[in-house]
Amino acid sequence: MSRDEVFESLGGSFGEKLQAETEFRGETTYTISASDLREIAKFCLDKLSFDYLLDITSIDNFGEEPRFGMVYHLYAMSHGMHLRLKLKIPEEAGAVDTISDIWPTANWHEREIYDMMGIKFNGHPDLRRILMWDGYPFFPLRKDFPLEGLPSEMPDVAFTKVTPMEGGPFVTVPSTATSKDREPRARPPEL
């Protein structure tokens, strides 16, 4: 199937559901509605041979509405073609349907997005935190999450206070020394 045939088939099948098309460096992006994601994703796999889900990207457009964006990066190995599906999610909805049953690799991508951004995935088989601990009340990749972190009152957690950035455990000090010597854990403890 040629590139033109792939996109003619997609356009012919979904027409108005493909809200916008963007072409950049030979790669195509379609903006779609969140409610059409599963139908279009299934078609891309079954009919157009986009058999590889490279990544799912989440975007926080803090201060705008809809607040969240999602980009699904697809690749067809047999055609050597990339395709992106972009959609927007209002903050009050905060959820989109899972595609982990279409592309199993979506499972961990969706869990990471839930953990870091707080976007839920309807129908996900195991939607729980993957990086932060269970019960952590914040979403660290949201733009309203402060750089220095937030205090947590959870017991048995190593960090319960806001950690200062300067002199912190992972902050290096600018100097002409080598990176090995600038590494905070390599410096002798101050008495």
Residue 57 belongs to domain with CATH number: 3.30.460.80
pLDDT in tens, 139-186: 989 998 887 677 766 655 555 555 555 555 555 556 676 655 655 554
Average pLDDT over residues 113-119: 95
Q: What does each C-alpha distance from 46 to 10, 82, 98, 114, 128 come to in angstroms? A: 12, 16, 17, 27, 29
Residue 171 lies in a domain: no
Q: Which structural domain, as residue segments, surrounds residue 118?
A: 3-141
Residue 169 lies in a domain: no
pLDDT at 96 over 90: yes
8-state DSSP, 34: G
Domain count for the chain: 1
- Predicted TM-score (pTM) of the model is 0.78
Residue 170 lies in a domain: no
Residue type at 146? P
Residue 41 lies in a domain: yes
Residue 102 lies in a domain: yes
pLDDT for position 165: 55
Residue 65 lies in a domain: yes
A 10 A CB-CB count for 129 gives: 14
Look at residue 84 and give its three-state secondary structure: strand
Can you list the alpha helix ranges (DSSP code H) found in 47-177? 106-117
β 68-76/52-60 pair status? antiparallel
- Extended beta strands in 17-76, E state: 20-24, 27-31, 52-60, 68-76
CB 89 within 8 Å of CB 119: yes
Residue 161 lies in a domain: no
Can you list the alpha helix ranges (DSSP code H) found in the chain? 3-14, 37-46, 106-117, 179-182
Residue 190 lies in a domain: no
Average pLDDT over residues 17-35: 92
